[in-house]
């Protein structure tokens, strides 16, 4: 495991220890970069409010160490496989939106999403020849629109 991944794991575990959270992070490398899998009794605290605390910790680690990772890689924090479950949910939402757009010929606009969630929907529908996806809006209010070409 590379040094950056180990340092991110150590920092995250020291944050958990200082906050007296009953969780522990374990780092592993993947094609996407460094994944920090978090397990323990207090995982629910990280997943409240749609995983806001989990996202904040991931943001801190990427700010601290992300520049030293190879281009295109990043640090990903996941607790109780939340990220994988959320990705499956987003893919299902994308497929639902595609069906609705085809049925009604009207655009479908998702609610505000962060960049990683919008990316999942863009990629899910990328091979649909009759549909186009585009991000609209600014900042935290940025949304994704699916419409017919």
Evaluate whether 101 touches 108 at the Cβ level (below 8 Å): yes
Residue 97, pLDDT score: 97
Helices 82-104, 43-65: axis angle to 10 degrees equals 90
For tokens 């009207």, the residue is 106
pTM as predicted: 0.75
Residue range 60-105, pLDDT digits in tens: 999 999 888 888 889 999 999 998 898 999 999 999 999 999 999 9
Give the bridge partners for 25, in sequence order.
38
Domains of the chain (ranges; CATH) run 3-80 (3.30.300.20), 85-148 (3.30.1370.50)
CB atoms within 10 A of CB 75: 26
- In angstroms, rounded to a whole number, what is the distance separating the alpha carbons of residues 96 and 81? 23
pLDDT, position 49: 86
Chain segment 13-58, per-residue pLDDT in tens: 999 999 999 999 999 988 778 999 999 999 999 999 888 899 999 9
């Amino acid at each position: 495991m590379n040094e950056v991944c180990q340092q991110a794991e150590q920092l995250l575990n020291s944050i958990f220890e200082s906050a007296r959270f009953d969780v522990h992070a374990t780092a592993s490398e993947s094609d996407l970069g460094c994944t920090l899998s978090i397990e323990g009794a207090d995982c629910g605290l990280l997943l409240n409010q749609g995983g806001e605390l989990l996202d904040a910790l991931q943001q801190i680690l990427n700010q601290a160490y992300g520049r030293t990772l190879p281009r295109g890689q990043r640090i990903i924090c996941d607790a109780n496989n939340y990220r994988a479950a959320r990705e499956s949910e987003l893919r299902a939402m994308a497929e639902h939106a595609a069906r609705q757009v085809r049925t009604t010929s009207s655009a479908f606009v998702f609610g505000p999403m962060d960049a990683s969630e919008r990316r999942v929907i863009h990629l899910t529908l990328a091979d649909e020849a009759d549909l186009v996806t585009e991000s609209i809006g600014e900042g935290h209010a940025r949304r994704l629109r699916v419409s017919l070409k």
